[in-house]
């Protein structure tokens, strides 16, 4: 699918994600900031777990409310909350630093409660018959944005102006940049209220198939949650004795592979979505297996790239499968319910991951491996029973 063939509203939304992608470096800088200011990896895991507990019930409540409210306003709220949180991170100094950090993380968690609105918004504004092709672009352009910006920011913060003080200034700058992204949403993204969410005639809610989706969500959530970003950061910076620049190089390698994965996904034959998902999970299992063996940096770059290739290969088919199982008029509620379920599963995984990493820096990847294997096996079985299930590809 060519960029020119994508509807204007979908283009504007993809460009929004391209605009905010450089700010995702905060997800690397924040745990690194905690580690470099004296917190152990176990304490960082416990910190994230404490904040996660606050987020579970409100996620579903917000999703249900946005069945009636304009989802665009929820997207604005996400960027406002993130902006405030990042500024608080930047101002966390001295005796009040722990309080500021906890307040900032709590506010950022409030914004993540609204993240299901992204998926609900996509389900509504992306044409249903072109989900797979559009999701290839949805992944591709933001990855290109990260590819161009992460190495520069990583080099500056890793070698030119290294250390926590520079990270604080970065937090503040990204916090203030939210004013730009909020303006973009208000000006260029269409409103999506109740009247825009009409489920197509003939839609039937498939209980059995939706249960399979939840099983996969269980496997994949635990697989990623048991080897979070902080595990990579701890390994690269404190075991391999590198800097944030090398961490961003991992992100760049992953981004390149992810872009290649989007092109590979476009070449998967129609009706072969489950096979693509199974292959993607198998590739991710290989990535975690190698990481569990404590490889040198050059191998870390290679296997993280391999893992992101696998994820990008299967992502358009998984998201399309999910969207075709959920009625549009309750999209925000369903996506919020799934997100709340993920949060329940991940409530203590940061603490578990931190504890495992405290024993051996790459041990969390071994735990992650088991769930990627289960996910891959699930789709290997489903691909043999495609007559009984709607394959995640257009009819």
Q: Let me know how long the chain is.
A: 395
In whole angstroms, what is the distance from residue 305 CA to residue 261 CA? 10
Q: Tell me: the pLDDT tens digits for 88-133?
A: 999 988 888 888 888 888 788 888 878 888 888 888 888 877 777 8
Q: Tell me: the pLDDT tens digits for 201-254?
A: 555 667 778 888 888 889 989 998 898 888 898 899 889 999 888 988 998 899
Residue 57, token pair as written in the block: 């019930």
CB-CB contact of 23 with 174 (8 Å)? yes
Residue 317, token pair as written in the block: 């088919």
In whole angstroms, what is the distance from residue 294 CA to residue 288 CA? 10
User: Which has the closest alpha carbon to 302: 316, 312, 314, 290?
Assistant: 290
| Res. 291 pLDDT band, cuts 50 70 90 | very high
CA atoms within a 13 Å half-sphere pointing along the CA-CB vector of 49: 18
Residue 362, token pair as written in the block: 């790459």
| pTM higher than the cut 0.85 | no
CB-CB contact of 15 with 3 (8 Å)? no
CA atoms within a 13 Å half-sphere pointing along the CA-CB vector of 316: 35
């Amino acid at each position: 699918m060519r960029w020119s063939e994508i509807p204007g509203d979908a283009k504007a939304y993809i460009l929004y994600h391209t605009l905010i992608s450089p700010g995702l470096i905060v997800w690397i800088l924040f745990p690194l900031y905690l580690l470099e200011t004296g917190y152990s990896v176990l304490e960082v895991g416990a910190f994230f777990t404490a904040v996660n507990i606050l987020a579970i019930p409100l996620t579903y409540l917000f999703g249900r409310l946005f069945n009636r409210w304009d989802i665009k306003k929820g997207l604005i709220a996400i960027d406002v909350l993130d902006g405030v949180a990042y500024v608080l991170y930047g101002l966390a100094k001295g005796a009040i630093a722990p309080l500021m950090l906890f307040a900032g993380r709590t506010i950022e968690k409030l914004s993540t409660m609204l993240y299901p609105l992204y998926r609900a918004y996509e389900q509504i504004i992306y044409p249903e018959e072109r989900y797979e092709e559009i999701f290839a672009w949805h992944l591709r352009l933001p990855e290109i944005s990260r590819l161009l910006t992460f190495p520069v920011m990583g080099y500056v913060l890793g070698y030119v102006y290294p250390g926590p003080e520079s990270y604080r200034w970065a937090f503040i700058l990204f916090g203030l940049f939210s004013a730009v992204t909020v303006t973009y949403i208000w000006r260029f993204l269409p409103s999506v209220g109740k009247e825009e969410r009409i489920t197509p005639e003939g839609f039937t809610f498939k209980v059995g198939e939706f249960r399979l989706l939840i099983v996969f969500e269980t496997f994949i959530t635990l697989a990623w949650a048991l080897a979070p970003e902080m595990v990579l950061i701890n390994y690269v910076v404190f075991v391999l004795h590198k800097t944030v620049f090398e961490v961003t190089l991992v992100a760049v390698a992953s981004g390149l592979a992810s872009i290649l994965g989007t092109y590979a996904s476009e070449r998967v034959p129609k009706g072969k979505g489950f096979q693509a998902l199974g292959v993607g999970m198998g590739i991710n299992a290989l990535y975690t297996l190698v990481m569990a063996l404590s490889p040198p940096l050059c191998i870390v770059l290679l296997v993280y790239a391999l893992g992101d290739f696998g994820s990008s290969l299967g992502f358009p088919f998984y998201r399309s499968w999910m969207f075709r199982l959920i009625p549009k008029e309750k999209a925000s509620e369903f996506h919020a319910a799934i997100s709340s379920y993920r949060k329940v599963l991940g409530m203590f995984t940061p603490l578990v991951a931190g504890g495992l990493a405290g024993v051996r820096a790459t041990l969390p990847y071994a735990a992650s491996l088991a769930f990627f294997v289960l996910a891959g096996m699930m789709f290997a079985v489903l691909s043999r029973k495609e007559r009984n299930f709607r394959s995640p590809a257009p009819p």
